[in-house]
Structure 1
């Protein structure tokens, strides 16, 4: 039985009032939804709340789910809309909350770096690694919405080109183009740090 068939059976049980069946869907998709929300919100304190709200909304709306797309595709759209709504309501700038969290991480990282460097690590290598990570995050944040969504679905969510095309409602060729352009943009930001040669991509 495929994953979509298994989901369909659970959804039918939910529609008949089986709460346990919905709990199984939550268990199956909770981590993926939290990762997705985390890429949009970047405020760790909000991620679980928004993920929970996503599942509450999905549960209420499931009688209207017709199975015209995969359950995760439907759930993904609810999560994106829930996260956007939360950001608007809280008037939060994702980059500001990310900066605040990064400064807290810096404090934690500094003490860890000073006290317990692992084999082969130096303060310089740890700093360089953090600079690369920051550059990647900055490059992803600078992408247009369609490029950022495509690269996130591919590299973070691990979805296939076909699944991304369905989620983004566009041809596979467009998905490939967006992912290529996103990688190029990220590589351009990283080249000065990694000293890579022109034409090489991460």
Structure 2
């Protein structure tokens, strides 16, 4: 009963994280299901040293990595993403208030560029950035989920943002010394 409530609470957030890692919706659903099965079986070992969701995300990330390794897969590039796919937070609704054809096209191009740049990031950079920007975890929580020092988390997020900025600069017409 209590575990069902946890599944209900974290299923969507975990799915958003996992689908960014495996880049396939049906495979992500399988990985999320496997993650919850593993978490349920490991629940007696959960010591409460970290928040439940950081523990669950760590299981999800490891399960996704194992899934990709078992299939000998590289993370595929997805070029057919829509701008709506990037409204990860409820606040995203406010970003779509001004919908002219030009702004919709620009938004779609930016979204596709960000998606491709994210897909091309190494796993550790993509995971750190997804946990921070999509899931809203703190640097401490990310360090716990990724089992690495906080300085490493900061470095990974910085490098990921720089990589994406490099791809966005030509599209946005920003000079090299300015990130966005």
TM-score scaled by structure 1? Answer: 0.71
Q: Which of structure 1's runs of 4+ aligned residues deviate more than 6 A?
A: none
- Residue 63 (structure 1) aligned with residue 24 (structure 2): no
1:172 is aligned to 2:150: yes
CA deviations over 1:109-141 (Å, ceiling 9, x no partner):
xxxxxxxxx97422x543332221111112122
Q: Residue 166 of structure 1: CA displacement?
A: 1.9
Structure 2 distance, partners of 1:175, 1:82, is: 20
Whether 1:121 and 2:114 are equivalent positions in the alignment is no
Could you say if the C-alpha distance between residues 173 and 82 of structure 1 is closer, same or farther in structure 2, counting changes exceeding 3 Å?
closer
Aligned mates of 1:160, 1:188 — CA distance in 2: 25
C-alpha contact 2:114 2:164 (8 A) present in aligned 1: yes
* Native 8 Å contact 1:43 1:94 kept in 2: no
Provide the aligned length of Structure 1 versus Structure 2.
Answer: 167
State the distance in 2 between where 1:168 and 1:156 align: 15
What is the distance in 1 between the residues matched to 2:44 and 2:68? 27
Give structure 1 stretches of 5+ with no counterpart.
Answer: 1-19, 106-117
Larger Rg: 1
In 2, Cα distance between equivalents of 1:120 and 1:153? 29
Deviations 1:64-93 (A, max 9, x none): 222233322221122122223333445554
Higher relative contact order (CA 8 A, sep 6+): 2
**Greater share of residues in helix:** 1
- For structure 2, the residue ranges without an aligned partner over 5 or more in a row are 83-96
Q: TM-score, normalised by structure 2?
A: 0.79
Which residue matches 1:9? none
RMSD, aligned CA: 2.5
Q: Deviations over 1:153-193 (max 9, x none)?
A: 11011111111122223332332222222211111110011
